[in-house]
Amino acid sequence: MNQTGRLYAVMNKRLSDRPFLAGDFYSIADIACYPWIVPYERQGQNLQDFPHLKRWFEAIQQRPATLRAYVKAEEFKAQQASVEESPSLLFNQSAATIKT
């Protein structure tokens, strides 16, 4: 957890004088880093300790594309194959079977 806290502190410092990780505009850096912060509680972190990171996290969390992505993820989880189907889906496949 010490390393996780250190990384949160690095991001918090980076966000202290800018709205997004790469500067004034939302970028691939924000898209890539946001999912790392989503499980902050399971990582033993408290966003109250990182006010700039907390502000950024809440802003990204409320973006329409982020909201849509997490709804899609929940839909995907709900549609996952049953345990019985999984081996046939995971194994016995080749490039030819995927292309068809």
Residue-range definition of the domain harbouring residue 75: 2-99
pLDDT in tens, 56-81: 999 999 999 999 999 998 887 777 65
Using 70 as the pLDDT threshold, list the residues of the chain that sit under it. 1, 80-90, 98-100
Give the total number of structural domains in the chain: 1
pTM for the structure as a whole:
0.76
Give the CATH number for residue 35. 1.20.1050.10
Q: Which residues lie below 8 Å from residue 21, measured CB to CB, with a gap of 6+?
A: 11, 14, 15, 27, 29, 30, 33, 56
